[in-house]
């Protein structure tokens, strides 16, 4: 069965791809062995992040349309916030991108954060590798846009696009430095709104101050709902792909990825439902202490 699934994935069977991603997310028996046999292409991963309401999904919709017209094969992973009680993805992004559902060159998948505090889905690294094995031309990932997800995406994406809107102009000085530092491209979306020109100048100045010898962050004005500026964004993504890879940064990010996976391996015997049931009985007594409780899970 595993061999048949691998063959179907290599043949470009979208159903086999969806099935295997479900296996990875649910940690079905044998998924690790399949992962270890796959051959991964160097497919560029584009991370789209930014605050809620910035129009990330609309921008991705426009980006996908542009790439599909170029006959490119595109995978989109929308990381949805999930209920802390049932851990299901909201699936809103898939609904917003419904116009592309029937295109055979597009694969869309929503992944729930499942309560992950960072904002990215727990199996996002593995799913990205599965998509690389499927030989897409581009992989696009949209983050929730809250917490540390903006910074975390830099450990996954080859190019990180930070989407902002003019209303954020007053807060540019107070933005987390980490969020701004991870951006490879600034997108000023909804650029027809009041204050857009001033915010654009401030972003351009910030990009110039933080420029390196290889790259100065471009600031792209877009009105994603009208497909304006998308061509410029695609060109900026292509330009960034030709920047020489910083070997130190590459190894640093690879080490971060490995650390996440090792942590997951070491805690794969600890189930959330198990903890919930265990705590029901533990908290009935007096003087419950969470720190004392978790000591029994400390690795020896």
The model carries a pTM of 0.80
Contact 79, 45 (CB under 8 A): no
- 138, pLDDT greater than 80: yes
Q: Is pLDDT larger for residue 177 or for residue 253?
A: 253
Give 142's strand partners. Answer: 48, 78
The predicted structure's pLDDT at residue 98: 56
Mind listing the pLDDT tens digit for each residue in 82-114? 544 444 444 444 445 556 667 889 999 888 765
Q: How many CB atoms lie within 10 A of CB 188?
A: 27
- 56, pLDDT greater than 70: yes
Proportion of the chain above pLDDT 70, given as a percent: 76
The predicted structure's pLDDT at residue 72: 95
CA distances from 242 to 89, 124, 135, 298 (A): 35, 25, 19, 45
Domains of the chain, first to last: 1-38 (no CATH), 40-263 (3.40.50.300)
């Amino acid at each position: 069965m595993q061999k048949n699934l691998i063959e179907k994935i290599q043949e470009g069977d979208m159903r086999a791809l969806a099935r295997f991603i479900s296996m990875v997310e649910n940690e079905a028996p044998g998924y690790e062995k399949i992962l270890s046999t796959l051959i991964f292409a160097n497919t560029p991963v584009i991370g789209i992040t930014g605050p809620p309401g910035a129009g990330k999904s609309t921008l991705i919709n426009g980006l996908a349309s542009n790439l599909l017209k170029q006959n490119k094969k595109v995978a989109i992973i929308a990381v949805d916030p999930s209920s802390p009680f049932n851990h299901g993805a909201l699936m809103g992004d898939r609904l917003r991108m419904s116009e592309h559902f029937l295109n055979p060159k597009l694969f869309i998948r929503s992944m729930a954060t499942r309560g992950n505090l960072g904002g990215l889905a727990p199996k996002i690294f593995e799913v990205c590798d599965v998509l690389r094995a499927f030989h897409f031309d581009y992989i696009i990932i949209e983050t929730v846009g809250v917490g540390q997800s903006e910074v975390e995406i830099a450990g996954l994406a080859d190019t990180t696009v930070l989407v902002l809107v003019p209303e954020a102009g007053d807060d540019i000085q107070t933005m987390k430095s980490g969020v701004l530092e991870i951006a490879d491209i600034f997108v000023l979306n909804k650029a027809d709104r009041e204050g857009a020109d001033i915010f654009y100048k401030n972003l351009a100045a910030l990009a110039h101050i933080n420029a390196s010898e290889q790259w100065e962050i471009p600031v792209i004005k877009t009105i994603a709902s009208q497909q304006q500026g998308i061509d410029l964004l695609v060109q900026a993504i292509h330009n960034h792909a030709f920047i020489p890879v910083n070997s130190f940064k590459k190894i640093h990010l690879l080490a971060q990825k490995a650390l996440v996976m090792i942590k997951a391996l070491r805690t794969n015997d600890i189930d959330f439902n198990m903890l919930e049931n265990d705590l029901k009985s533990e908290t009935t007594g007096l003087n419950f202490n969470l720190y004392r409780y978790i000591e029994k899970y400390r690795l020896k």
